[in-house]
A and B are shown apart, each in its own frame.
Chain A
Amino acid sequence: MNGFFAKMIELIYSSQMTNDLYDNNIYGVAGLVMILVPVLGALIFYFGFDKARYVGWKAWALSFLLSILTCFLICWLWPQSAMGKAGLDYASSEYVYFSAITSIYSVIIFMICTFVFRFRTTNLLHSPF
């Protein structure tokens, strides 16, 4: 899984950290986070909040932003902590860059979930559009 996500992320990500990220199994965990967080966020929005009062773009946007922000924070702070424990010292901007890349994938996954899940809801069929 580490290898799979490494290949996937490195399609748009290149950095001096890549080998260390791979060696410390960071890709595997970050890959799961960047998929599971937006899927979970979309599931909660479309099925936990399938009420007429949440129809429209505002509630959707809030759930989208929360999901991406959660993913961004986990993929920034957790690798930084894990790598620090392994004695590896990189600038914070390197972790922010890595996290931004995983967040791009999260955005794509959340959008895919939006298109899939909304057709199975009662009230949120046209949320956000």
Chain B
Amino acid sequence: MDRLFLFCIGGTGSRVLRSLVHLLAAGVELPVRELIPIIIDPDKENGNVEQSIKLLNAYQEIRDKAHSAGSSFFKTSIRRLSEVVDGDIAGLSNEFRAGAQTGERQTFKDFLEFDSMDAATRSLLQLLYSERDNLQSDLSIGFKGNPHMGTVVLNKFQESADFRAFVNMVSDNDRIFIVSSIFGGTGAAGFPLLVKNIRHPHSDYQSKQATLKQVPLGALTMLPYFGVESKPGSPIQNTFMGKTKSALSFYGDDLRGINSLYYLGDDHQKEVDNQPGGASQQNRAHFAELVAALAVIDFAKTPQDRLKTNAEGIALQPSFKEFGLLVDENNPDQLSLRNLASSSRQQIGPQLIKMYYALLFAKNQLAESLATKNHPFVKGSTGVPLSPSLINAPFFADRLNPYFTQFHDWLIELAQNSRAFAPFNLQTEALDAKVVGVEQLKKGFFRKTSDWDYAVFEGYLNDVESKMGGLSAEQKLLALLSQGTEELYKERIQTGLLG
């Protein structure tokens, strides 16, 4: 596959994207030449959107500077739509977020140009939309759980420069995936519209009609997996299940152009702060979002012959998928890698473990190793030497180390949410006890033990240094961490994780 265009709609879309980016950074395989995320969210200051954009920028910077064939970290190329588009398209956003669909600080009423409408139309609109909750609503913080507003506003997306650029670029070798939630406002409204605009494009896109009707299209719709605190006067109320039912009924009848549709939700729901939108809407990472990210990967791996559509853009063999877990009945709220089915555990376990140990080494030991020891991986036998000043260089200080912090924060959020997904024991200092539920192999000549320390880790880095020829210092650092953790994983952890 050439490119995967990933539309992430609303706050949930951005949170799923966050999980996907962390998985890709850790080296989880996504079989595409380029991933092109397009975030659609009119909530300009949404905390989750901002967080994902910051993460994507960091990913790109690290990859551009330090990725090499020797590193499995940051392997997948992630590009902005504006970076791959041919020629200039006026108004095209040069960010991961699609350009503004609404004006700044605009009410829904302004957007509709309500005051210029005739009396009959105004009356009809007043019948459909409440004056206080809808017509006077400020669109700059999204639709606050009102998909019937979102459908009107987001329908404009098909006229945007971003959609035009997407249509120009999409080809028969590409795939499209849409991530949204079914129970909120933005995602619930944007998802069916986007499907409609792709499978039944506007006449302006006549030349791409055939491609848009045939290009494999997958989608993930998040069913409720968290609740919101009851807050008098808030536009967001805990009516997620009712909204879900009515949306599902609509999807069943009208969304027949989707080749693979993934349903994901969790009846084990924790209530989060009731924030209708804006910077304060920054929900913590949730295990369901990590699983949703796996749906993107699963779709990318689906064989092409299962993703056919007819000339009308209707999927010939639509598939509908869910995700299962091996939940411990005595402790259903607590998950680790052990609770994943073996295929999922194999898919993400080794990569997450490698990235976690790489971050531990980078944060706790790297400075000392660079400053005080004559290690081959530092002095360089094949590769370039690594200077102690690397720690303060912009690449490490401003990019890689902050990325590791973001990865660590993500793990903490996953572990503290409900359900909690805690693949690592974040409290213990014992390196061999870090992977929850995995007993590491005992090794040693005189006394077999599973204990190991950073000196052992340095040994793995020394082992792989001979493969570091021709790399820059930044590339070498990332390749060392990738290959060193691979050795560590194979020697000590693999049997316990997969056995």
Question: A: which residues have CB within 8 A of B?
Answer: 51-53, 55-57, 122-123, 125-129
B-chain residues with CB within 8 Å of residue A126 when the two chains form the complex: 374-376, 379
Task: Flag if B456 contacts A52 (CB, 8 Å).
Answer: yes
Instruction: Report which of A123, A128, A129 forms a contact with B375, defined as CB distance below 8 A.
Output: A123
Q: Which residue of B lies closest to A125 (CB)?
A: B376
Stretch at the interface among B165-173, B247-255, B430-438, B458-466: B458-466
Excluding A51-B459, A128-B374, 14 further A-B contacts by CB distance (< 8 Å) are A51-B456, A52-B373, A52-B375, A52-B455, A52-B459, A53-B455, A53-B458, A55-B373, A56-B372, A56-B374, A125-B462, A126-B374, A127-B374, A129-B374
For B375, give the chain A residue with the smallest CB separation.
A55
Per-position 1/0 for B444-473, Cβ under 8 A of A:
000000000101111101110000000000
Count of B interface residues, CB-CB < 8 Å: 16
Is B334 part of the contact surface with A, judged by Cβ < 8 Å? Answer: no
Output the least CB separation between A35 and chain B (Å): 27
Nearest-Cβ distance from residue B126 to partner chain A, whole angstroms:
74
**Chain A residue with the shortest CB-CB distance to B378:** A126
**Taking the nearest CB of chain B, how far is it from the CB of A100, in angstroms?**
30
Residue from B372, B453, B457, B462 whose CB has the most chain A CB atoms within 10 Å = B462
- Please give, as numbers and ranges, the residues of chain B lying within 8 Å of A122 by CB-CB distance: 376, 459, 462-463
CA gap between A52 and B375 in the complex, in Å: 7
B381 on the interface (CB 8 Å rule)? yes
| Chain B interface residues (CB < 8 Å from chain A) | 372-376, 379, 381, 453, 455-459, 461-463
Residue of A nearest to B460 (CB): A52
A56 and B373 in contact, given A51-B455, A125-B381, A126-B379 (Cβ under 8 angstroms): yes
Chain B's interface: helix, strand, loop or mixed, by majority? Answer: helix
| 24 pairs of residues in contact across A and B, judged by CB atoms under 8 Å | A51-B459, A52-B373, A52-B375, A52-B455, A52-B457, A52-B458, A52-B461, A53-B453, A53-B456, A53-B458, A55-B374, A55-B458, A56-B372, A56-B373, A57-B374, A122-B376, A122-B462, A123-B375, A123-B376, A123-B459, A126-B375, A126-B379, A128-B374, A129-B374
Chain B residues, CB < 8 A from A128: 374
What's the Cα separation between A53 and B455 when bound, in Å?
A: 5
The docked-state distance in angstroms from the alpha carbon of A51 to that of B374 is: 12
Closest A residue, CB atoms, query B463: A122
Q: Are A52 and B462 in contact (CB under 8 A)?
A: yes
Contacts of B459 in A (CB 8 A): 51-53, 122-123
Q: With a CB–CB cut-off of 8 A, which chain B residues contact A123?
A: 375-376, 458-459, 462
**A57 (CB) vs chain B CBs: closest residue:** B374
- Nearest B-chain residue to A48, judged by Cβ: B445
Q: Which of A52, A122, A123 has the most CB of B within 10 A?
A: A52
Nearest CB of chain A from residue B19's CB, rounded to whole Å = 34
- Nearest-Cβ distance from residue A11 to partner chain B, whole angstroms: 34
User: Complex formed: what's the CA distance from A129 to B381 in Å?
Assistant: 13
Top 5 closest A-B pairs, CB basis? A53-B455, A52-B458, A126-B374, A52-B459, A125-B376
CA distance A53 to B458 in the complex (A): 8
Least CB separation from A126: chain B residue: B374
- Give the complex CA separation of A52 and B381 in angstroms: 15
A123–B374 Cα gap in the complex (Å)?
9
User: What is the minimal beta-carbon distance from B488 to any residue of chain A, in angstroms?
Assistant: 12
